[in-house]
């Protein structure tokens, strides 16, 4: 029996903006940007293909995007709507295999190896998925078919938008060798110049480069780089993975020095993080504070608790202690973030007679239920419980 797998990578085309162009026909054919308005601080979440022609891309400051294309349509976006559309797409994928690894709202890996007898080849399955996605949602997807995750993701990007590409063991090197080395996931703006210094510009250059010399520069990562250059990747498709961290952050429209306002934002972020921890059924042992100064210098500070928690007060109080140590620098703040890490699943170990703690947990669950039904604005923090 062959060990060759058949992996699909499904990537929705310009997902957020495509949903908006579908629902608002007057936007079709126009450059559309979903994200912060151009007169506010914030970044681009998604750009339509028409907007990308002007050099606009996700994570770019919205003000920069506006300078590149002043006639672009900027939308705040409707993330509840995007989540609903994502659920419809993922439901289609799970009709073909239970081995669906959703890596973001608009992309997923599928291992269809065991489904080939039922549905046909990987390419046939990909064509059927594309047809059903279009009929069900009115949107297009690009799909890569390959023996592993690295090649499948690369293939899904070869013929965008609305593309389908197949990479096999037989043709993989011919496809890989001419591509720039930054097409390997993990080779970004820091690693790419280091590879260029070694004369490595294409994946083919990397494939031919001596491993020992590569190892002297990149250590243990050298072996993985060489494996990717040969088109090798043994990572499995994992249908579900525990969250590694849960966090939230706020970018201020103007840099602030007001400690009272910062404290309010930290509490709001802590409450959001705590609610999401409870939704996931996990608690965090480490609290993280993220702080960005006005000059874009960013730092993170962490504190580990004696016991893991999903309590907003403990998270906020810990984050505020970390914040106050940094505010001695008296510098204007651009962004604040709060997160929980080292997550643990399972119920908290409560003292049988600790009625106050039990009551507090009960109130938190009730508050979560109210917010889920009526929205975040219906409950505000008052005094301590």
Q: What share of the chain is helix, strand, coil (3-state, %, to 5)?
A: 45, 25, 30
In terms of Cα–Cα distance, which of 42, 52, 107 is closest to 75? 42
User: What's the chain's length in residues?
Assistant: 385
Q: Identify the active-site residue in 20, 85, 101, 107.
A: 107
d(C-alpha 317, C-alpha 87), whole Å: 36
Q: Answer whether 123's CB lies under 8 Å from 263's CB.
A: no
d(C-alpha 251, C-alpha 258), whole Å: 14
Q: Is 87 a catalytic residue?
A: no
CA distances from 316 to 82, 102, 268, 360 (A): 30, 31, 9, 16
Q: Answer whether 55's CB lies under 8 Å from 49's CB.
A: no
Q: Answer whether 141's CB lies under 8 Å from 92's CB.
A: no
Question: Which sequence positions are flagged as catalytic?
Answer: 107
């Amino acid at each position: 029996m062959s060990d060759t797998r058949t992996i699909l990578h499904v990537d929705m085309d310009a997902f957020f903006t495509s949903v908006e162009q579908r629902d608002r026909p007057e936007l079709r054919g126009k450059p559309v940007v979903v994200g912060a308005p151009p007169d506010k601080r914030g970044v681009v979440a998604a750009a339509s293909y028409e907007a990308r022609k002007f050099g606009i891309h996700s994570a770019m400051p919205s003000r920069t995007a506006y300078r590149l294309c002043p006639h672009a349509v900027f939308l705040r976006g409707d993330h509840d709507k995007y989540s609903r559309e994502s659920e419809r797409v993922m439901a289609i994928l799970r009709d073909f295999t239970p081995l669906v690894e959703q890596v973001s709202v608009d992309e997923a890996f599928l291992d269809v190896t065991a489904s080939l007898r039922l549905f046909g080849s990987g390419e046939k399955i990909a064509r059927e998925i594309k047809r059903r996605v279009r009929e069900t949602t009115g949107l297009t997807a690009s799909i890569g078919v390959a023996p592993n995750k690295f090649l499948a993701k690369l293939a899904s990007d070869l013929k965008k938008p609305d593309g389908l590409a197949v990479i096999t063991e037989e043709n993989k090197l011919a496809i890989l060798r001419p591509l720039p080395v930054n097409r390997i996931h993990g080779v970004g703006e820091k690693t790419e110049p280091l590879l260029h210094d070694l004369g490595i510009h294409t994946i083919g250059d990397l494939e031919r480069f001596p491993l020992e010399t590569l190892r002297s520069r990149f250590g243990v990562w050298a072996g993985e780089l060489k494996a990717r250059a040969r088109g090798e990747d043994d990572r499995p498709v994992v249908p579900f993975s525990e969250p590694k961290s849960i966090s939230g952050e706020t970018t201020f429209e103007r840099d602030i020095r007001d400690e009272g306002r910062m404290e309010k934002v930290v509490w709001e972020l802590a409450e959001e993080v705590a609610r999401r921890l409870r939704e996931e059924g996990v608690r965090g042992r480490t609290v993280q504070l993220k702080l960005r100064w006005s000059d874009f210098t960013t730092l993170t500070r962490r504190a580990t608790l004696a016991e893991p928690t999903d309590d907003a007060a403990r998270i906020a109080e810990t984050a505020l202690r970390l914040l106050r140590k940094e505010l001695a620098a008296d510098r204007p703040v651009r962004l604040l973030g709060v997160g929980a890490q080292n997550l643990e699943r399972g119920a908290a170990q409560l003292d049988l007679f600790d009625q106050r703690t039990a009551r507090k947990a009960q109130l938190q669950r009730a508050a979560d239920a109210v917010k889920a039904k009526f929205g975040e604005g219906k409950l505000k923090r008052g005094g301590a419980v």
